Amino acid sequence: MSFSSIIEREVLFGNPERVFVRLSPDGKYLSYIAPYEGVLNIWLAPLDNINKASVITQDNKRGIHTYNWAFDGKTLLYMKDQEGNENWQLFAVDVQTKQHRCLTPQLNIQARIEKLTPLFPNKLLVAINDRDPAYHDLYKINIQTEEKTLIFKNEEYSNYICNENLELKILTKETSEGGSSWFCFEDGEIQIFQEIPVEDRMTTMPLRFNKDGSKLYLIDSRGRNTGALFKFDVATGEQELVGGDLRTDISDIIVNPKTKEIEAYAVTHGRKEWIFCDEKIATEIKEFQNIQEGDVEILSRTLDDRHWIVCFLKDDGPLYYYHYDRLQKQRTFLFSNRPDLDAVSLVKMRPTVIKARDGLDLMCYLSLPSDTVNLSQLLPLVLLVHGGPSARDYWGYEPIPQWLANRGYAVLSVNYRGSTGFGKDFLNAGNGEWGAKMHEDLLDAVQWAIDQKIADPQKVAIMGGSYGGYAALIGLTFTPDVFACGIDIVGPSNLLTLVESIPPYWKPFLTAFKVTIGADFDTAEGKEFLKKRSPIYYVDKIRKPLLICQGANDPRVKQAESDQIVKEMEERNIPVTYILYPDEGHGLTRPENRLSFFGIAEAFLAQNLGGRKQPLAEKDFNSSSFQVKAGEEMISDLKNYVKN
């Protein structure tokens, strides 16, 4: 098998050139996120002259990663936290004056935007846990005057659905069994609306109202396996099926900016498939598909629906953005998010169904160092485990699989049981199976790669973040002979201390979490169950090299999760390398930190699996906050760059 040239890590893990491209509601402006002095900020340009773009925010720390246009057409709204602690504050910037204001100035609170509407362009609904950290009250905020009005004082509910008139209409609450109850809110009165059984709790959810509030769109799996799209008639109480798929849940929708009706919905098995309810939209998207390869996505639309921003999503290339003028039928290429990727050789991500030992179908994605089908030699394999576990892997460009494949590894991403998107039966099959059948699914995927003569059984690594980090620790403790090494990124080591330290705003979801994890951790029996599924109690079993990455400000998987397993290993003289980032949370946001960690991880994998490596250099650590808390000597290339 021939290998392409080494792709520099900065190309894969550095900042994108432009991303998150959007239109102002009136179509005057094009906005996007791009680096300013090395930090991601919001840029603005006239739609008819994007060469006149200028930066309108000047964050100099973690960067801005998402934003919304207010419907006044002159205000951008964005969120910032403090070094990864997920205490999000809401900011507004005037695109003409560039004046910035914090709309939620309280410290140590978490704000989230609940509703923006063109009917009230100067106002929005925001949920804030400023009174009680466990529950988010609902406020109406005037963007211009900053006046804040309490709409609903929340003492037990987990979610809100509001209509286009900025009125609270539906409240949801977890039941004592782990299911969900939906309540109507009308004239200050709360009445039960729907009861969702525990088995449907994560595949049934209200989505949104249409413009006049006569219809509620929802995903519903009751009476079926997969979550299908329905519309509920508010006046008659009748619920009508819009569409669904026997393989997967609804994964996305397209909403008309004028009527707020759903024009298309998507299902994602191996790749995303759009099903259109509007023939005009379907025709226009099909015409776009003739331009180039890739999955077409509508990213932004003006309020009059004349202008669109459309992108092409590929697995072996960057995102390509286009402006579409529907009136003129004109499609104009704008730019790509990472032009440097056009100059390198990337590989395909292959959707592959693998059978688990009990017959479940596991949708996996395989990336190989070369797209040549006939393998001439067994490859080292990296098993890449997604977090959640209530999440899933998708087809498309991903930097980590591309990086690993370029270094000579086969990469296998597995949607193990408990992953979302494949119906409630598959999702609920993961309940109580942390470190058990969920781990067996990962082992079955590895064995498939061995049986297919893809993977060298002596050179298999397990790597992941969050639950994926936990899976890596499980792999090295529960099945120490399977894996040659492991990389744990912000993964919990002790499920007992994990549940004792969860953020207060997770309180409304605790019962559902008990169902997912499989134990009532308020009982002695539940605590004993979690102990048996916790890697820290099996540290003596670790015989293979382990690399751990942790953010000091992680509110979900706190630093203690990594500290304690490292302490246990050191007390037993079991080697471990531990990298701490004092300015990160649940993952690595700053590109300087990504470059340093993946440089370290690359050296670690090369040392233990024999893959290719780009040598570490001083530039990989410039401005990174990394601290090596243990085991610098375990990675031979690292010692020259450790800060004293």
Q: In 10 A of CB 636, how many CB atoms?
A: 12
Tokens of 154: 């929340």
Beta carbons of 572 and 541 less than 8 angstroms apart = no
Length of the chain: 644
CA distance linking residue 57 with residue 52, whole number of Å: 16
| Residue among 315, 586, 620, 624 flagged as catalytic | 586
Tokens of 74: 């002159």
Tokens of 16: 């994108």
Q: Is 181 a catalytic residue?
A: no
Beta carbons of 57 and 66 less than 8 angstroms apart = no
| Residue among 444, 488, 554, 583 flagged as catalytic | 554
Tokens of 152: 């609903």
The string of DSSP codes covering 354-422 is: EE-TTS-EEEEEEE-SS--SS-SS-EEEEEEE-S-SS----SS--HHHHHHHHTT-EEEEE--TT-SSS
Q: Please give the C-alpha separations between residue 35 and each of 40, 343, 591, in angstroms, as whole numbers.
A: 4, 21, 11
Beta carbons of 477 and 412 less than 8 angstroms apart = no
Collect all residues with Cβ–Cβ distance below 8 Å to 171 and sequence separation of at least 6. 152, 157, 159, 160, 161, 182, 183, 185, 190
Tokens 């509601």 found at = 25
Tell me which residue of 10, 17, 7 sits closest to 318, measured CA to CA. 17
Instruction: Describe the crossing of helices 437-451 and 467-478 by its angle, rounded to 10 degrees.
Output: 70
Q: Is 4 a catalytic residue?
A: no
Q: Please give the C-alpha separations between residue 544 and each of 479, 480, 540, 562, 576, in angstroms, as whole numbers.
A: 11, 7, 11, 17, 9
Q: Is 466 a catalytic residue?
A: yes
Tell me which residue of 112, 101, 29, 103 sits closest to 72, measured CA to CA. 29
Torsion 510-86-70-141 (CA) sign: positive
Long-range contacts of 29-33 (CB under 8 A, 24+ apart): 29/73, 29/95, 30/309, 30/323, 30/334, 31/67, 31/69, 31/76, 33/63, 33/64, 33/65, 33/67
| Residue among 31, 419, 466, 534 flagged as catalytic | 466
Widest Cα–Cα separation across the chain: 71
Catalytic residues: 466, 554, 586
